[in-house]
Amino acid sequence: MSSTRPKGSSATKSSKSATHDSSDPQTSFALGEGSELAPRTGAEPKSAPAKAAKKAATSPAKKTAPEFSSGSQTPVQFVKGVGPRLASIFQSRGIEIVRDLLYFFPRAYEDRTRVLRVTELQPGVKSTVSLRVLSSRKIPTRGYGKNLFEVRATDDTAVITLKWFYLPRGMDSKFIAGSQFLATGTPKEFRGMLEIIHPEISWGKTADLATTPTSPTGEVDPLHSGRVVPIYTEIEGLASRLLRKILWDALSKYAPFLTEDIPARFVARHQLPRIAEAVLDIHFPKSASDNDQAIQELIDFRTPSHARLIYEEFFKFEFLVLRQRLQMEKENALSLGLQGGRKAVEDLSRLLPFKLTGDQMKAVDEILADLTATHPMNRLVQGDVGSGKTAVAFLCAAAALAEGSQVALMAPTEILAEQHFKNADKLFGGRLPVALLTGRTTNAERTTLLTKLAAGQPLLVIGTHALIEEPVIFKSLALVMIDEQHRFGVEQRRIFRRKGIHHSETTNSIVHPHFLILTATPIPRTLALTAYGDLAVSMIRELPPGRSPIATKVIRGTGRSGALERVRTELGAGRQAYFIYPLVNESEAEGFQSLRSATVEAERLQKEVYPEFKVGLLHGQMKSDEKNEIMAAFKENRLQILVSTTVVEVGVDVPNATVMCVDHAERFGLSQLHQLRGRVGRGIHPSFCFYFTGSNSTEQTQARLEVLEETNDGFEIAEADLRIRGPGEFLGTRQAGGLPFKLADLVRDREWLFRAREDALELLKSDPDLTLADHSPLRNFFEREGKLQGDRLKTS
């Protein structure tokens, strides 16, 4: 097996594995295809994976140890050295069967090929040193209730102290004067001497590394020293040395049973190793013992073996999302735009108070082309801050409305929904039939609107999650639009889509709605191909003419007086300003005590800094009526300063606001800071953005934020944000959790993603259902667990 199982599915898999027999296609395929491994080199344990595979093929499995009858599906309990107690520890980390264990890959590597002298050690640099015990003792400690164990050792160049606060049982008896051992750890200075706290120990002489292929008692164990050693994410209750030994035994016995799921022509095309060889080499690399370049490639996850697993993860993922797009094309949808819809779009575009940019016109054309198809559109429109994506959405809605269908636009907040409603009416002079449905809609208005929707009256209804509640019934919903879709859960989006499934009198069939997603957070290409891989993408990078530039400055520590004076100047000229804080109220929680809060700072700014101007406070804990009142007052310039949390991050449009001040900017991601900056620069006046950081912020933090000083391009900033924070932080943990990559990294491995996508598309075009014999291993994989991934990875 060569792809990781999504989190949360391990229980299902383990129940199947208990009854798995040798007739399973995975096992039989593994025996036929993957029984030979490349010979190992260097100081390795004698157990040979190739011998294990041969024995497995010729010997019946014992009833008490069903490993070979189950192959990589064997419960982890039956791996040598595990047993019931360790099995429960593994299961707590989702490792239930052998395949899970083999795919528990190292998170890093340590070069232990170089053994230093004590005099060569540098404080703070992890190293390996060969030592001889001088003495050992237990020192009583106060408060711990246990003894500190201390060893004094030497290599005849100097003396070093080793200390343990928690010593493994029986280990103290091994430190006999004169005993030879290797210690690996990070030295530090203490009272003029070097010491290492909790080093990792390998027993024996350094010389044994070159001459001893196995590890008899008293000699250095080559799994842990004298080589590049794999470092794993810690598992509580399981020592690193024991984990390596268990993994070696599991690989020796079960690696030959891993299936070659990817069609052979693609593996050969990229000159990648076989899966069993690659998995073994990732855990215990055979080629990086004395070659600096090879060691660095290993540490950087750039070896051919890493490439093999990275490519496979991307290939399987892209096959799923691309096949999902093909499946959607088999569903029915109303063809829109050919019966007067496109003309309605052209007529309405002439009413706009501005000329569409080239990118806007291209996006409109792409959407209208999708709408004419008889299968559902599934498209993402991503535009930088202020690029005019909502105008594009309104124009395309007109195509459906003109042909008698209904359109719905769901926004994440009432503020944004109401703003969209007002803009739709304003932009087209009341020519676009539009309605608003939020929690603030009165009962009378709601009843009237629901009656119209149930009757099939052509309307663009804009609202919040109220649109997906039970009383709302659409008779002819043909186009579903979601703004800032990452703020909604997957289930909310699916409910919204289902509301558009209806019987069409035009086609006399069940039809699905077209689906359009809007986002003002530019999405890097790698994420567009993964987290949003089932969507076609339109990009709006070009900003409308007349947008004023935004001068941006990152200010560290207390040097913010100049920025505050610039705010005063702008306020004196009749303009307005935002002040953004990470907290609503002060917090005593660890790590938050030093953070300013919006509530406290609003009062301070009003009384001490800008008493001549009016300050308002806005945050997510306020009631809807209060928030709407504050926003209305700010838009009408009855408030000159708006103190807020990130509730204003998206969609708030006040052209008269020209200054944005963000406190504790180091607490926010680059894309979020860019969104906040986009709240200014929306009018004719020059605008300013100040990012304040704490005096204790690091140089790395400053360098990260300076990206915002260098560019206003949201797409460049998004790429930088992804590089720095990774997809988990960029997307939000819930959504990024759907990316089932154990080794693949969207930034580091982007070229492999593009290659895998091209190959997956080639396979889909030639054999979408994987019916050919060469593709049966991949089909078997998806039948076993691929669908579970597909269900989790749907973005819509």
- Average pLDDT per run of 10 along the chain, which is 796 residues long? 34 34 28 28 39 39 43 89 91 90 89 84 88 90 74 92 83 87 88 88 57 37 71 83 90 91 96 94 75 79 94 92 84 90 91 90 95 92 85 94 94 87 87 90 92 94 89 92 73 81 86 90 76 82 78 87 94 96 73 76 94 94 86 94 86 88 90 89 91 82 85 83 67 50 86 94 92 92 64 43
Nearest 10 degrees: Cα torsion 488, 490, 493, 494: -160
- What is the H or E stretch that residue 482 is in? strand 477-483
* Nearest CA among 747, 706, 757, 700 for reference residue 727: 747
Cβ(647)–Cβ(618) under 8 Å?
yes
Cα–Cα dist 679/654, whole Å:
7
Cβ(337)–Cβ(300) under 8 Å?
no
State residue 246's pLDDT score: 93
Cα–Cα dist 466/410, whole Å:
9
Strand partners, 229: 110
DSSP SS3 for 303: coil
Cβ(452)–Cβ(426) under 8 Å?
no
**3-state secondary structure string across 240-270:** HHHHHHHHHHHHHHHHHHCCCCCCHHHHHHC
> Locate tokens 């049973």: which residue?
257
Cβ(526)–Cβ(753) under 8 Å?
yes
Token pair listed for 516: 């359009």
Cα–Cα dist 57/38, whole Å:
18
State residue 786's pLDDT score: 53
Angle between helices 699-710 and 714-731 (to 10 degrees): 140
DSSP 124-169: TS-EEEEEEEEEEEEEE-TTTSSEEEEEEEE-SS-EEEEEESSPPT
State residue 287's pLDDT score: 56
| Alpha-carbon separation of residue 477 from 334, 411, 685 (angstroms) | 10, 17, 41
Token pair listed for 328: 């959607």
Strand partners, 482: 410, 517
Return the number of other C-beta atoms located less than 10 Å from residue 385's C-beta: 21
Token pair listed for 439: 């929690």
- Greatest Cα-to-Cα distance within the chain, rounded to the nearest angstrom: 94
State residue 535's pLDDT score: 83
Token pair listed for 435: 């309605």
> Which residues lie below 8 Å from residue 134, measured CB to CB, with a gap of 6+?
152, 153, 154, 159, 177
Cβ(712)–Cβ(660) under 8 Å?
no
DSSP SS3 for 212: coil
DSSP strands (E only) in 193-248: 193-197, 200-203, 228-231
Return the number of other C-beta atoms located less than 10 Å from residue 84's C-beta: 7
Rg (CA), the chain: 32
Angle between helices 275-283 and 240-254 (to 10 degrees): 160
Return the number of other C-beta atoms located less than 10 Å from residue 175's C-beta: 21
Token pair listed for 136: 């050992």
Cβ(398)–Cβ(341) under 8 Å?
yes
Give the residue ranges of DSSP H helices in 221-375. 240-254, 264-269, 275-283, 292-299, 304-328, 341-349, 358-371
Cβ(656)–Cβ(576) under 8 Å?
yes
477-483 and 115-116 as β-strands: parallel, antiparallel, unpaired?
unpaired
Cβ(243)–Cβ(90) under 8 Å?
no
State residue 400's pLDDT score: 94
Return the number of other C-beta atoms located less than 10 Å from residue 789's C-beta: 21
